[in-house]
A and B are shown apart, each in its own frame.
Chain A
Amino acid sequence: MKDYLDQLEAEAIYILREVAGQFDRPALLFSGGKDSICLVHLALKAFRPGKFPFPLVHIDTGHNFQEALTFRDNLAEKLGERLIVRKVEDTIKAKNLQDGKGKFPSRNELQTYTLLDVIEEFEFDACIGGARRDEEKARAKERIFSVRDEFGQWDPKKQRPELWNIYNGKIDKGENVRVFPISNWTELDVWNYIKRENIELPSIYFTHERDCISTEHGQLMNVNEFVQIEPEDVIVKKNVRYRTVGDMTCTAAVESKAFTVDDIIKEIKETKISERGATRMDDRVSEAAMEDRKKGGYF
C-alpha cells in the first residue's frame, strides 16, 4: 500500500498522460502560483525525457506580483518549455472593455475574455489547470475532465459521468475541456508535496516585510499602484506571506513568521481560516460567486 502522496501524485500523472493521449492541442494554464508550479513538476515526471506535449499559457492580468512573473519566466527558460503570455490589458484595449473600478479594481471577470481568446487563437482543445476541489464548494462539484461549450461555459447539470479512472475527453470542434489533475489535493497536501519534492517557489510565499492596509473584513492588502489609498487608510508595515498568488488587487496577505516550507505547514495546520477565505476578495460577492463565474467560462 502506497503513501497517500504517492497515490495523489500517480493519479495526477495518469490524468496528465490522458490529456496528452486524447487531445491534439492541449495547454497548461500557468499562473506562477504554487498549484500550477506543482502541475509543472508533475508534468516533468509524466513526460521527461520528452518535451511537454503542451505549452505553458499565462493570462497576465497586469495586476500580478512581479516576483511571480520573474519566477514564471525563469522556470520556462530553465525547462526549455514554450511559454505563451496573453495580457488582459490588450484585451481591454482591443475589445474596448470597462476596466475594474473602485478601491480594489479587480480584473478577475476580465481575464475570462483573455482566456477564451487565447483558447480560440491557438485552438486549444484542453486546458489543464491547478484548481482543487477543497478550495470552494462549486469546485467540489466539478469533474476532473470538465467539458465546456464553445463559449467556455460550465453546465453543472450536464456533467458527464466520470467513473473509475476512465476519462472521456471526446468533444466537437470549438469545444474544450478543462482538466484538473490535482482536484483531490488539499492545500496541506500541496505543501506536503512541495516539501517532499523540494519544489522551488516564488519568494512571496514566505514571510517578508510589506506595506499593507487593512480592509473592512480585516484582510491585509498590499499597497501598490493599483489600489486606491484613501486618507482614512492606515499604512502599516507587517511581516506577511501569501497563501495564494493571485492579483495584487484581490489577494490578501496573511501575517506570518514562516521562513521555510516546514514553518508554512505548521501554520496551515494551526490556522482556523480556509485558504480562499483568508486571501480572496473575489469569492465574497455572493454564495454562488464561483459557480456563476464558471458558468461564464472562468477557469
Chain B
Amino acid sequence: MKLLRFFTAGNVDDGKSTLIGRLLFDSKSISTDIIETLTRQSKTTGVDTDIDLALLTDGLRAEREQGITIDVAYKYFSTEKRKFIIADTPGHAQYTRNMFTGASNTDLAIILIDARNGITDQTKRHSIISAILGIPHILICVNKMDLVEYKQSVFEEIKSDYLKFSERLNLNKVSFIPVSALAGDNVVKPSGNLNWYNGYSLFEFLENVEIDQANDAQEPRFQVQYVIRPQTDELHDYRGYAGSMLSGSLRKGDRVQIFPLDIETNISKIEKYQIEVEEAHAGDPVVIHLSDDLDVSRGSTIVKSNELPNTDNFIEATICWMDNKAYQSGQKLLLQQNSFRSKAIIKEIEAKIDIHTYDELESDDVMNLNDFCKVNIKTAESISFDSYSKNRKTGAFVLINENTNNTVAAGIIH
C-alpha cells in the first residue's frame, strides 16, 4: 500500500472542513463516538446542519471559539489502495506561515474554489505558495456546484480563468474536479447532477493520482545524523554513519566525496538494520561505513564523486519570514538544512514577492511575518546543496534565531 500526503487550504466558508469531513465520513474513518461528540458540540455552536464538520478538524479551543483554522491539523484515513495523510491548513492570510508549514512535505495540494465566487485572492495566494514549494500536483476542487445549479459553464469558466492565471507560476501538474462537499456530489462517487463531467470523483482521484514524483531527484545524497560507535570489546573499531538516504542511491564500493571536509574516499559497507546491503535507496535509513578513518560528524554530506552538489558559503534563496517579530537587519541566525547547521546572516534582501500576483517588488529591507522575499545569505560553514527545483531534500532550509531559538524563516535555494 502506498502513502499519499496532501494538504488542503481554505476555511470554513470555502467548505474545506466539510470536504475533509466528507472524505473521512464516507471512507468510514470517523468512529461513532466521535460523531456523537460532534453532534453534541454542534448544538452549542449553533450551526444549522446536523453535524458541524469543522469541529472535526479545529482541534484547539481557540479555533472552535473563533470558528477558524489557526494551525495545521493532521488527519488520517485509508482505503484498500492507499493511506492518506491530510495536512489541514488555515487559509487566512495572517496564518500563511502555518499553511507553508503544513504544505512543505506534501505531494499534492487541494485548493478549493467556491463555484459562486471563482478565483479569489486566497486562491492566488495558495497557488503561489504551492508554486514556491514545488508541490508536484495541484488539484482545483470547484466546490458548491449545487449552488450554481451544477452548470458546466461555471466550471469551465473557472477552469480557464485558473489556467490563465497560473500560466506564469510554472505549476507542475494541475487537475480540476467539480464537487459539492455538502451534498456529497462527486466526492466519493460520480454524481448524476454532474453528468456532463466524465473524470474522476475526488476519492477516485486521490486513489489513482500518480505519486511517484517525476521530479524526484536522482543525485546520490546522504547526510550524517549520528555517529554510531559502540566502543565495546568486540566492536572496538566500529564507526558507522547513521543517516537517511536523501535522494538517489549509493552502493558499496562507490567513490564518494565528503563535505564540508572535501575529502574523497570509498564506501566500505552499508548496513540497514544491522544487515549488510549492497545499495541504499532514497528514503532508506542506513548506516554507512567509509574505508578511511576520517573526522566525519553530524551534518556532513556524503555524495558520489561524479555527481557533486554545489558547495558554497553563499546562497540565493526565497524565504518566508515566519516570526511575529520583523527581521532586524544584521540579525544573528542559524541555518539548518536537514541535520546540517551553520551560523548565517542575511546579506541582502533583493526583492519582495507579491503573494497575490507573483510580481517582484523592490525591497524596502523590511521583512514582516508572512512576507516572501528573495535574499542572499552568507553561511559561516560552507553548505552543500542542490537547487530546490531539482532536489526538495537538499535545497530546503530553515533559519533559527540564535537568541530566541525560534524558527523564524523557511527557505528554498535557487
Contact = CB atoms under 8 A, between A and B. Distances in A.
Interface string B21-43: 00000000001111001000100
B76 A51 contact: no
A160 interface: yes
A162 B226 CA distance: 21
A10 B31 contact: no
Interface stretch (B117-125, B140-148, B165-173, B331-339): B331-339
A13 interface: yes
B212 interface: yes
Contacts of A188: 78
A137 B1 CA distance: 26
B386 to A, nearest CB: 14
A21 interface: yes
Contacts of A171: 405
A7 B283 contact: yes
Contacts, number: 161
A258 interface: no
Interface string A136-151: 1111110000010000
B274 interface: yes
A133 interface: yes
Interface residues of B, number: 67
A160 B41 CA distance: 29
Interface string A146-190: 010000000011011111111010111000000000011010110
A163 B2 contact: no
Contacts of B226: 17, 20-21, 47, 53
Contacts of B274: 48-49
B231 to A, nearest CB: 9
Given A45-B273, A140-B73, A163 B100 contact: yes
Contact of B101 (A17, A162, A172): A162
Nearest to A13: B285
B322 A161 contact: yes
Interface stretch (A61-69, A202-210, A230-238, A273-281): A273-281
A274 B31 contact: yes
Given A13-B285, A163-B104, A274-B33, A4 B59 contact: no
A7 B41 contact: no
B76 A186 contact: yes
Interface string B218-243: 00000001101110000100100011
28 contacts: A1-B2, A1-B211, A2-B283, A18-B225, A51-B230, A53-B226, A133-B74, A133-B76, A137-B73, A141-B73, A156-B71, A159-B71, A160-B407, A161-B398, A163-B100, A163-B407, A165-B393, A168-B336, A168-B400, A170-B405, A184-B76, A184-B85, A271-B31, A272-B32, A273-B32, A273-B33, A277-B34, A278-B33
